[in-house]
């Protein structure tokens, strides 16, 4: 038996909010792939005096793997040419891969670049069940980071039939079966009912009580059923919701109505920025961030990620087909729209957010308002909905906007002011995030919301995922290039260079459910699906 490797990360200024450590000078001890309380004297040391030590970053919502992401890669050959990623020379001589970057990096580049930012865990936010095997294959090819995905439910034919028939228990068992057979981590809902209506030739749904086929099926019923299923199956992460009416002026009413519909039930509302607009369709936009975040602040059972818009290139990738049709029609850009039989939709439009564009400036401001008005950073965590609002490579710049008011105010002056009337940003929001709060919104908070007790902290038993930053008054510079990144006890990044690229682990759930549901689902497959029940899913 070999002795597990040991390392003392010595003398750093540690931010470990889950364990109440906020800038204390102390050592972090690693044995094998775990954090331990202490190590004997004489073990190898990494001297990090004067540096900032945090747990590895955890991204709760990004689009990094699977058939939708791969469609986006194919749509963007110009990005491949503009941003080649040569294979990095690894210290242990292990093979590395070349790839391409841009807004939708290739699998290997995705793993290398996340690690290069100090992130060690990322969750792929939307996978159609039919594409689960593809998503696993891509995640297998995404090195270093631990990963999992959320499986799309809420526009799938079998589920909607159960809701129409009042079969709530069977809907829950179906969700349990589907999570297990696709090796997913959580339930994702995208525009409940709206994608189904769009696929059937309609425009979309407009609110929570629109009828979706059967009069018994509404967006409200879908939300209630799946929130109940996630809680009934005791999933570590609650239902992950992309509300109806994404990107529409006035959609804050729908967002608040969706939150009220789940009153008292645990739920995560994703990329809240895209759902926090006031105004009216055809009659202009304004910020409704204050109303929405006030509601979140007052409801401890709710959590959100922000989905910040960052200026520059982005690629919008979503199961929300009707939204992408609107974006394609208004932008005139190239696009993809896919019907995934019986299950969901998919739309992709490359996009650019410009400081001088009024709507983009409003979106940027709304995201910052949500961050700056949030009372509990544990429940309002950082995302750009990569690559929808901007790529994950823009996180350091976003951290600077949160930590540095003078810089934020300077940027605010440079953006189009047309739609900013009423924005709390113009009232001179003085808040500056502390390093401890950044540690919450980028690692401790997401880990807790995901129900990952071994992630996002540096207490004994935690995964030995640690990031060390050299302090810099320019926080964007500081967070863009960690001095060391340690994943599972191994130094993977040193002085900005990728040194090692081990495989990451897969995060998946296997909930208990009544297996009687399988017989019924099989009958449905025999009647309607082009894929055989036996060939479905992504079990090894
Ligand atoms: Zn997303």
The mean pLDDT values, 10 residues at a time, for the chain of 540 residues are 84 98 98 97 96 98 97 96 95 91 98 98 98 97 98 98 98 98 98 96 95 94 98 98 97 98 96 97 93 98 98 97 95 94 95 97 98 98 98 98 97 97 88 98 98 98 98 98 98 94 96 98 97 92
Tokens at 193, concatenated:
């009912």
Residue 62 C-alpha to ligand 1 middle, in angstroms? 6
Q: Is residue 163 packed enough to be buried (19+ CB in 10 Å), middle (13-18) or exposed (0-12)?
A: buried
Residue 84's beta-bridge partner residues? 100
Please tell me the predicted confidence (pLDDT) of residue 191: 98
List alpha helices for 76-148, DSSP H.
Answer: 77-82, 107-116, 132-140
Calculate how far, in angstroms, residue 233's C-alpha sits from the geometric centre of ligand 1: 23
Q: Report the separation in Å between the CA atom of 384 and the middle of ligand 1, taken as the mean of its atom positions.
A: 9
Question: Cβ(505)–Cβ(493) under 8 Å?
Answer: no
Residue with tokens 């902290």: 457
Q: How far is the CA of 188 from the centre of ligand 1 (A)?
A: 10
* Å from CA of 377 to ligand 1 middle: 20
> Distance, CA 63 to ligand 1 centroid (Å)?
6
Report the predicted TM-score, pTM, of the whole model to 2 decimal places: 0.98
The pLDDT assigned to 1 comes to 47
3-state helix, strand, coil in the chain (%, to 5): 35, 25, 40
Domains for the chain: give ranges and CATH numbers. 54-498 (3.20.20)
Q: How many angstroms does the Cα of residue 362 sit away from the middle of ligand 1? A: 19
How far away, in angstroms, is 96 Cα from ligand 1 center?
A: 29
| Residue of 348, 346, 342, 347 whose CA lies nearest to 155 | 342
Ligand 1 geometric centre to CA of 9 (Å)? 35
| Ramachandran assignment for 18, one of left (phi > 0), alpha (psi -120 to 50 degrees), beta (any other) | alpha
pLDDT at 540: 80
For residues 375 and 299, what is the distance between their CA atoms, to the nearest angstrom? 11
Positive or negative torsion for Cα 47, 49, 51, 53:
positive
Half-sphere exposure of 64 (CA within 13 A, CB side): 33
CA of 24 from ligand 1 middle (Å) equals 35
Cα(472) to centroid(ligand 1), Å:
31
User: What's the CA-to-centroid distance between 492 and ligand 1, angstroms?
Assistant: 28
Instruction: Write the DSSP symbol of residue 255.
Output: H
| 83 CA → ligand 1 middle, Å | 23
CB-count exposure of residue 416 (10 Å: 0-12, 13-18, 19+)? middle
Phi, psi of 344 (to 5 degrees): -165, -170
C-alpha pair distances (Å), 401 with each of 78, 284, 305, 404, 460: 30, 27, 16, 6, 33
From the CA of 504, how far away is ligand 1's center (Å)? 22
Q: How far is the CA of 42 from the centre of ligand 1 (A)?
A: 47
Q: How far is the CA of 456 from the centre of ligand 1 (A)?
A: 21
Using DSSP, how many helices (H) and how many strands (E) does the chain show?
Answer: 18, 24
Q: Are 205 and 217 in contact (CB under 8 A)?
A: no
Measured in Å, residue 476 CA sits from the centre of ligand 1 at 24
Q: Do 207 and 193 contact (CB within 8 A), yes or no?
A: no
Q: Report d(CA 149, CA 65) in Å as an integer.
A: 9
The residues near 216 (Cβ < 8 Å, ≥ 6 apart) are 163, 164, 165, 166
Task: Name the residue among 109, 117, 65 with its Cα closest to residue 85.
Answer: 109
Which three-class secondary structure string do you get for 161-216? HHHHCCCHHHHHHHHHHHHHHHCCCEEEEECCCHHHHHHCCCCCCCCCCCCECECC
Q: How far is the CA of 271 from the centre of ligand 1 (A)?
A: 7
Ligand 1 centroid from CA 14, angstroms: 31
**Alpha carbon of 134 to ligand 1 centroid (Å):** 18
User: Rounded to the nearest whole angstrom, what is the distance from the C-alpha of residue 61 to the centroid of ligand 1?
Assistant: 6
Q: Which of 135, 185, 233, 123 is nearest to 508 (CA)?
A: 185
For ligand 1, the distance from its centroid to the CA atom of residue 500, given in whole angstroms, is 29
Distance 66 CA to ligand 1 centre (A): 13
Which among 328, 337, 383 has a CA at the least distance from the CA of 68? 337
């Amino acid at each position: 038996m070999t002795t597990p490797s040991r390392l003392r990360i010595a003398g750093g200024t540690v931010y470990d909010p889950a364990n109440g450590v906020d800038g204390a000078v102390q050592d972090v001890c690693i044995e094998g792939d775990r954090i331990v309380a202490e190590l004997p004297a004489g073990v190898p040391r990494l001297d990090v005096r004067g540096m900032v030590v945090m747990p590895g970053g955890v991204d709760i919502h990004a689009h990094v793997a699977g058939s939708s992401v791969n469609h986006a890669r194919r749509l963007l050959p110009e990005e491949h040419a503009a941003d080649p990623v040569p294979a990095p020379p690894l210290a242990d001589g292990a093979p590395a891969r070349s790839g391409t970057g841009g807004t939708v990096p290739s699998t290997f580049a995705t793993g290398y670049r996340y690690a290069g930012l100090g992130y060690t865990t990322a969750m792929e936010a939307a996978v159609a069940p039919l594409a689960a095997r593809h998503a696993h294959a891509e995640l297998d090819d995404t090195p270093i980071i631990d990963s999992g995905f959320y499986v799309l439910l809420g526009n799938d034919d079998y589920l909607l039939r159960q809701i129409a028939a009042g079969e709530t228990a069977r809907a829950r068992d179906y969700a349990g079966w589907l999570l297990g057979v696709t090796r997913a981590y959580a339930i994702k809902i995208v525009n409940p009912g709206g994608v189904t209506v769009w696929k059937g030739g309609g425009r979309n749904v407009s609110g929570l009580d629109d009828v979706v086929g059967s009069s018994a099926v509404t967006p409200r019923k879908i939300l209630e059923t799946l929130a109940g299923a996630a809680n009934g199956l005791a999933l570590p992460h609650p239902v992950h919701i992309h509300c109806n009416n994404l990107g529409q002026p006035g959609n804050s009413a729908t967002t608040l109505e969706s939150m009220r519909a789940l009153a008292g039930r645990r739920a995560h509302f994703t990329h809240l920025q895209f759902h926090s607009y006031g105004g009216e369709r055809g009659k202009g936009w304004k910020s409704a961030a204050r109303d929405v975040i006030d509601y979140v602040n007052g409801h401890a059972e709710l959590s959100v990620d922000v989905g910040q818009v960052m200026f520059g290139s982005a690629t919008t990738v979503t199961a929300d087909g009707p939204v992408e049709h609107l974006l394609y029609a208004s932008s005139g850009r190239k696009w993809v729209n896919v019907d995934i039989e019986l299950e969901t939709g998919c739309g992709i439009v490359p996009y650019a957010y410009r400081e001088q564009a009024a709507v983009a400036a409003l979106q940027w401001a709304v995201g910052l308002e949500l961050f700056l008005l949030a009372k509990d950073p544990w429940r309002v965590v950082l995302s750009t909905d990569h690559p929808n609002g901007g790529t994950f490579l823009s996180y350091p710049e976003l951290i600077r906007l949160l930590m540095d008011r003078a810089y934020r105010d300077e940027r605010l002056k440079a953006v189009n002011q047309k739609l900013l009337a009423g924005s709390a940003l113009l009232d001179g929001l003085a808040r500056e995030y502390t390093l401890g709060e950044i540690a919450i919104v980028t690692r401790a908070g997401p880990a807790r919301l995901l129900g990952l007790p071994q992630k996002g902290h540096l207490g004994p038993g935690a995964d030995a995922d640690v990031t060390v930053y050299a302090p810099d008054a320019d926080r964007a510079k500081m967070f863009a290039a960690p001095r060391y990144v340690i994943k599972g006890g191994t130094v993977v990044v040193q002085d900005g260079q990728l040194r090692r690229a081990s495989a990451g682990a897969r995060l998946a759930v296997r909930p208990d459910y009544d297996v009687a549901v399988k017989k019924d689902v099989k009958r449905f497959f025999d009647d309607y699906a082009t894929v055989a029940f036996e060939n479905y899913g992504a079990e090894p």
